[in-house]
Amino acid sequence: MPETFSKLLPCTFFFLFTLLFLSINLASAKSNGFSNVLSPKKLGLEREKLGHLHFYFHDIVSGRNPTAIRVASAAMTNKSETIFGAVVMVDDPLTEAPERNSKLVGKAQGIYTSAAQDEVGLLMVMNLAFMEGKYNGSSLSLLGCNCVFSTVREM
Ligand X SMILES: *[C@@H]1O[C@H](CO)[C@@H](O)[C@H](O)[C@H]1NC(C)=O
**Residues interacting with ligand X, by CB under 6 A?**
78, 131-132, 136-137
Q: In terms of CB distance, is 19 or 74 closer to ligand X?
A: 74
Q: In terms of CB distance, is 136 or 150 closer to ligand X?
A: 136
Q: Rounded distance, CA 26 to CA 146, Å?
A: 33
SS3 6: helix
What minimum distance in Å lies between the beta carbon of 128 and ligand X?
A: 15
Q: Rounded distance, CA 99 to CA 7, Å?
A: 21
Q: Rounded distance, CA 52 to CA 38, Å?
A: 7
Q: Rounded distance, CA 63 to CA 100, Å?
A: 14
What minimum distance in Å lies between the beta carbon of 21 and ligand X?
A: 20
Q: In terms of CB distance, is 59 or 132 closer to ligand X?
A: 132
DSSP class of 57: E
What minimum distance in Å lies between the beta carbon of 133 and ligand X?
A: 7
What count of Cα atoms within 13 Å lies in the side-chain half-sphere of residue 63?
Answer: 11
Q: In terms of CB distance, is 138 or 150 closer to ligand X?
A: 138
Q: In terms of CB distance, is 92 or 132 closer to ligand X?
A: 132
- 92 strand-pairing partners: 108
What minimum distance in Å lies between the beta carbon of 149 and ligand X?
A: 20
What minimum distance in Å lies between the beta carbon of 86 and ligand X?
A: 8
